[in-house]
Amino acid sequence: MSELYNVSSSPHVRSKDTTGRIMFYVLIALLPTSIFGVYNFGYKALVLILVTIASCVVSEWAYNKIVHKKNTLGDLSAVVTGLLLALNLPATLPWWQAVIGGMFAIVVVKCLFGGLGQNFMNPALGARCFLLIAFAANMTNFTIDAYSGATPLAALRNGESVDTMDMLIGRTAGTIGETCTIAILFGAIFLILMGVIDLRIPGSYIVTFVIFMALFGGHGLDSNYIVAQLCGGGLMLGAFFMATDYVTSPITPNGQILFGVCLGILTGLFRTFGANAEGVSFAIILSNLLVPMIEKITIPKSFGQVKEGKKHE
């Protein structure tokens, strides 16, 4: 009786997924990539990852303390931001620059705009782009004992050939987390199986990018070139872990596909016609800024809704 007459406001369906839980899944999904990065680039990579995470966590705690806000460390988002940022840095980066990056990500990109859920661009990528402009020389220094010299993308740009097998298993120069495609894909499959992300954004991103590169890359349908472009740079990491960020991607299903198409076109444009070999991070933060507009034009029709013009027929 009481159940029948129990009137309450929505939401009526609740799930056990909390922000902290989803962030924890993302952390697990990033484990293979992180472990491989440390294995590949040595203890320096481990130190950088720990320093960046610590910087993000301390920044968030200190900011909330200073402005008298509720402590939000429990949602683990600062840890995820720190780990993602570290995976986007070269292992040779001086540690204090990583600390500045972590502070920028949390304080400037996230907290000043109102904290998690209000940030208009991905904090980790915002900080990566900040560091890329601020410390251009350090951020593009990929010289590591094992692999010296150019990243696969830079080599491709210079017309050299690259070994795609090496790129799949990550035996190339690059940032800590971007080199091993297989490790990234393991994490991505885990996230998809757990229902944390779906394939709309990464799928449309990758498909658009492949089409763009086939049309404008200058190598036609050369599969070796296209696979190298897909596995090189931060595309895989960006597509599965950063473009899918709930806060900075559209919530409408069609909008997510449009978002992915934007990403693919922008990345292709930056890589083919831009000044640098890599353009994933700029493509993602630029598309983040387009999200409100994408959502506006892709509002789904509600059930039974009639178009304005047909009402009076």
Partner 1 sequence: MNKYLERLYNGIIKENPTFVLMLGMCPTLAVTTGAMNGLGMGLSTTVVLILSNLLISAFRKVIPNGVRMPAYIVIVASLVTVVEFVMKGYTPSLAAQLGVYIPLIVVNCIILGRAESYASKNPVLPSVFDGLGMGLGFTFGLTCIGIIREILGAGQLFGHQVLSLDWFTPITIFVMAPGAFLVLAVLVAVMNIVRERMEAKGKPLASPSGCLTGDCASCGQSSLCTGRKDTAKTE
Q: What is the dihedral of CA 143, 276, 122, 237, to 10 degrees?
A: -60
- For position 55 contacting partner 1 by CB under 8 A, the verdict is no
Query: What is the residue whose two structure tokens read 């590591």?
Result: 144
| Diameter of the chain measured on Cα atoms | 76
- Distance between CA atoms of 107 and 67, rounded to whole angstroms? 11
* 45 close to 91: Cβ distance less than 8 angstroms: yes
Residues 219-258 vs partner 1: string with x where CB under 8 A? ----------------------------------------
- For position 276 contacting partner 1 by CB under 8 A, the verdict is no
Min. distance of Cβ 131 from partner 1 in angstroms? 9
Of the candidate residues 133, 159, 302, 303, the single one contacting partner 1 (CB under 8 A): 133
Min. distance of Cβ 99 from partner 1 in angstroms? 13
- For position 108 contacting partner 1 by CB under 8 A, the verdict is yes
* 57 close to 2: Cβ distance less than 8 angstroms: no
127 contacts: CB under 8 Å, gap ≥ 6? 85, 101, 102, 104, 105, 109
DSSP 91: T
- For position 135 contacting partner 1 by CB under 8 A, the verdict is yes
In whole angstroms, what separates CA 206 from the centre of its chain?
14
From the list 128-136, 159-167, 245-253, 261-269, the region that binds partner 1 by CB under 8 A is 128-136
From the list 7-15, 127-135, 263-271, 301-309, the region that binds partner 1 by CB under 8 A is 127-135
Cα distances (angstroms) measured from residue 177 to each of 14, 137, 234, 236 = 35, 19, 8, 10
Nearer to partner 1, 134 or 214 (CB): 134
- For position 136 contacting partner 1 by CB under 8 A, the verdict is yes
Min. distance of Cβ 115 from partner 1 in angstroms? 17
Q: Determine the size of the site formed for partner 1 (CB under 8 A).
A: 10
Binding site for partner 1 (CB under 8 A): 94, 97, 100, 108, 130, 133-136, 138
